[in-house]
Structure 1
């Protein structure tokens, strides 16, 4: 059998490509080649590889037999391109020869820290799980893992603390069950209803939220946003309503005073032209409709089992997920990185505008340690005491890093944000330990867990200090009882951690296995 690997993928993706091919064919001695063409002797039907492979372009002697993944990526052009590029086209068409990580449902929101859909598909292949299996993402973000699992015929369960993430994940998995024409019908309804809306922002947001938003939006902009929301709320279907709310969320930064080039909520007051938010909303909805309709057309005949998205902290959510306890076949997730900017902060305007701030699991705004100095100092001491009580649960290398930073940042005269950093780092690693333990309880014995995470850095006493989150979590797995299977450097070629004397990777894929007792 002849296969052609995508020629433009990165070195780590070539590693994954070979790993997924080995897993699907059962041929262990397939090695990475400099040439994209591979010849294998396998009894696995071509259609199985065509339907499932993530990093391969063609399967079989006919170079026009494109993989389903190529078809899915091609949905970014719209339905006409998909019709021209069928899986078994006789004449085919020129396909994109560069990496495409955003297409179809994977592009419906400018969510920070998105997962690669091809990476998720490859991990599913490598895990060897079958249709009907349960895929868990304990930090589900925008729902990439859940969406990919669903179109592969697998159940999925995701957890996230961010209510906007939960909304996006529910929409992405829910939209897979609707007809593409339902989207155009909802769009037409909004177009019709918006003409009759009389905006009243005092009814939309309470006094505290309205005051906050008035610091970030022109009054005319808030009126236009309220008008759009009123029209959206005329849609009966909740999933469809939330889809258009996500489109609105996508343009909020453009019509606010938030700096577009800065992920943090920082102000740059400008002018606003009445009607601009409404205009941008419809442009965004139209842009997305083309891609989403094409994607839905490409997956319409696939079996798509149930997806469940739970809102809350992964550590505490296990009590709401008893049905999945010990039943999940694989974990595929990308947790937040240590000291990374909280997604709750970057999404704050959307969370407030869409009325998600007061959901039961959303933390109080006052609890933000970088806000009020008095609250910050009290919270810092509480967190540091928790660390002192529990630090033996962490690896020695994590303790050494935290205490090295604390030795400098706890000195008199240090600014309160830097003073908070050791406590926040301690909280992060303790939270990750607890979250991994909770996820472990949901995983079957012998099942794999894929964690995609990277390092970052901070300045201590004027010097840059690397926080090797990926290495720390890799070694923290020993505390969970997980066997360390593979460490795949996403910047280099695959390496075994034992050969890494001077780790400097930005991101890595950590593959663990739950021990069988």
Structure 2
């Protein structure tokens, strides 16, 4: 990029805030739709902000074809890159982030997904087993017995699904469900036990899962329509080439392709105390078959609730 292009970019971006000091806060203008709404994740970026910045660069700088985000998180930058047909490399140490990005960049077989979801929900409702299918340290602290049984039912039925692409979508929906029905407070990303009164009123995991998966199907249908409208959809999938790496960004990143533009939002403060992405993700990951997450390479990241945060850059 030339000095003149750099100066033009600065002028354009400055012009937005010169008219409105609060322009880049996107207060009242931020909305999460289609794949941006598949998961709630700590400290997510504003999609409209990333989209506008991308459009400025695409207008002013020729030959931008690819984007890299070394702290990809739930994939906000990924989603905006997909919407513009740009190739993408996303990096994150958190397995839940990798799963979310795999789902967002995966094939959009929405009709088949609806059929598989209907069958999954049917199988969940007819499963009468009283077996808890998972066992990990703290399970009785963080989940009531009834919730353990219901999550186990969902877990077994997802495992029985033969298509991995569908299982990944189901696992992501289950991750949201786990956060909603665990005994940890929803007012913080840290693991803090709820008061007994709130634990007594925890909703049915099966009902929450059904609501979540149906919402996510609607989001994926919106995503498919959006990509088709932007002419970046080919045979039920974005034309973008997406690569995801579960590695530590402080190490050398080996990749056979160079990327034109870096857009990211690094971790906020100290992961262990400020925004604990690992604590947020730990309980959901305990109920997911992580063997279904394709790009995992970091080992022993789920030893305890703090392992991800201790290994993170923040």
Deviation at 1:130, TM superposition (A): 5.6
Aligned to 1:328: 259
CA–CA distance in 2 between the matches of 1:239 and 1:316?
A: 30
1:21-100 matched pairs, under 5 angstroms:
31=15, 98-100=28-30
Q: Deviations over 1:292-342 (max 9, x none)?
A: 3123212225222111111121223613x2x12xx1101111110222232
CA–CA distance in 2 between the matches of 1:161 and 1:123?
A: 25
1:338 lines up with 2:264 in the alignment: no
Aligned to 2:178: 252
Aligned to 1:267: 193
1:167 lines up with 2:95 in the alignment: no
The CA RMSD over aligned residues, in Å, is 3.4
Q: Deviations over 1:79-102 (max 9, x none)?
A: xxxxxxxxxxxxxxxxxx941331
Q: What TM-score results when the alignment is normalised by the length of structure 1? A: 0.49
SS in 2 for 1:309: strand
Aligned to 2:83: 151
Deviation at 1:125, TM superposition (A): 2.3
Deviation at 1:147, TM superposition (A): 1.6
1:295 lines up with 2:223 in the alignment: yes
- The structure where strand makes up a greater share of residues is 1
Aligned to 1:512: none
Aligned to 1:205: 134
CA–CA distance in 1 between the matches of 2:167 and 2:302?
A: 26
**Higher relative contact order by CA 8 Å / sep ≥ 6: 1 or 2?**
2
CA–CA distance in 2 between the matches of 1:104 and 1:115?
A: 15
Q: 1:134 to 1:271 in 2, by over 3 A?
A: same
CA–CA distance in 2 between the matches of 1:28 and 1:133?
A: 21
What is the aligned length?
A: 282
Contact 2:179 2:186 in 1 (8 A): yes
CA–CA distance in 2 between the matches of 1:163 and 1:133?
A: 27
Unaligned runs of 5+ residues in structure 2 are 233-238
1:179 lines up with 2:179 in the alignment: no
Higher mean C-alpha deviation, range 347-356 or range 264-273: 264-273
Aligned to 1:115: 45
Contact 1:131 1:154 in 2 (8 A): no
Q: 1:316 to 1:216 in 2, by over 3 A?
A: same
Aligned to 1:221: 147
1:194 lines up with 2:124 in the alignment: yes
Q: 1:98 to 1:183 in 2, by over 3 A?
A: farther
Deviation at 1:127, TM superposition (A): 2.7
Q: 1:228 to 1:30 in 2, by over 3 A?
A: closer
SS in 2 for 1:136: strand
Q: Choose which of 208, 214, 223 in structure 2 pairs with 1:280.
A: 208
Q: Deviations over 1:46-102 (max 9, x none)?
A: xxxxxxxxx9xxxxxxxxxxxxxxxxxxxxxxxxxxxxxxxxxxxxxxxxx941331
Instruction: Please tell me whether Structure 1 or Structure 2 has the larger radius of gyration of its CA atoms.
Output: 1
Q: Deviations over 1:332-373 (max 9, x none)?
A: 11110222232001221112121449965143646949x9xx
SS in 1 for 2:85: coil
Q: Choose which of 324, 339, 352 in structure 1 pairs with 2:286.
A: 352
